[in-house]
């Protein structure tokens, strides 16, 4: 006859070991879920920035004769939006600034539809090869959630505390002189 007292409690130890292994696995999944949510938010902000970047490039292209009127050191967070004046360029800049601040979506009266700390910059560069102006760089900077390499484009520089959190997307727009 086999004594039952030798095997008593063995199943309880197996269950406890299984629970510990399961808890470790679930903690790993919880950490992975947190990273996935952060990555999703980063991707959402980048797509918002690209939409607003292309919007301003289209506005500058549509108003080619007055492209120099769009040059600005920065609009958006931390800056007052320019007033919508009588010119197309001033109205475009006002609308772009409002979009950078998130005016497309509101929650409780606050603008929440854009990136964190969004800022837009437009500058004119001179082509080294020809020495001719007419190339405009449109850039959007915002604050990311994870540290990455420091962007080389100066838009929004030193505005977000830690430079490794600054994100920038830029698009060159070439305006031909069609006189």
Residue-wise pLDDT tens digits, 42-93? 999 999 999 999 999 999 999 988 888 898 888 887 667 888 888 999 999 9
* Residues pairing with 139 in the sheet: 121, 170
What are the tokens at 11?
Answer: 């199943």
Instruction: Tell me whether residue 123 is in a domain.
Output: yes
Instruction: Tell me whether residue 1 is in a domain.
Output: no
pTM of the shown model:
0.78
CA-to-CA distance for 86 and 6, rounded, in angstroms?
93
Q: Tokens 């030798």 belong to which residue?
A: 6
Residue 72: which domain range?
8-174
Q: What is the pLDDT confidence band of residue 3, given thresholds at 50, 70 and 90?
A: low
pLDDT of residue 179: 56
Instruction: Tell me whether residue 152 is in a domain.
Output: yes
Q: How many domains does the chain divide into?
A: 1
CA-to-CA distance for 169 and 130, rounded, in angstroms?
25
Instruction: Tell me whether residue 2 is in a domain.
Output: no
What are the tokens at 128?
Answer: 């080294």
C-alpha torsion sign, points 128, 130, 131, 132: negative
Average pLDDT of the chain is: 85
């Amino acid at each position: 006859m086999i004594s039952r007292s030798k095997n008593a409690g063995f199943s309880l130890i197996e269950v406890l070991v299984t629970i510990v292994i399961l808890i470790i696995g679930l903690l790993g999944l919880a950490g992975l879920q947190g990273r996935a949510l952060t990555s999703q938010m980063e991707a959402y902000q980048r797509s918002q920035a690209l939409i607003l970047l292309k919007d301003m490039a289209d506005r500058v292209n549509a108003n080619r004769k007055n492209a120099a009127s769009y040059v600005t050191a920065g609009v958006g967070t931390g800056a007052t939006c320019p007033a919508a004046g009588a010119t197309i360029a001033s109205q475009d800049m006002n609308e772009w600034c409002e979009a950078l601040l998130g005016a497309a979506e509101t929650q409780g009266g606050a603008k929440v539809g854009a990136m964190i700390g969004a800022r837009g910059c437009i500058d004119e560069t001179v082509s080294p090869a020809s020495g001719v102006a007419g190339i405009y760089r449109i850039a959007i900077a915002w604050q990311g959630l994870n540290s990455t390499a420091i962007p080389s484009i100066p838009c929004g520089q030193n505005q977000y505390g830690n430079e490794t959190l600054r994100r920038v997307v830029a698009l060159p727009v070439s305006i031909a002189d069609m006189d």
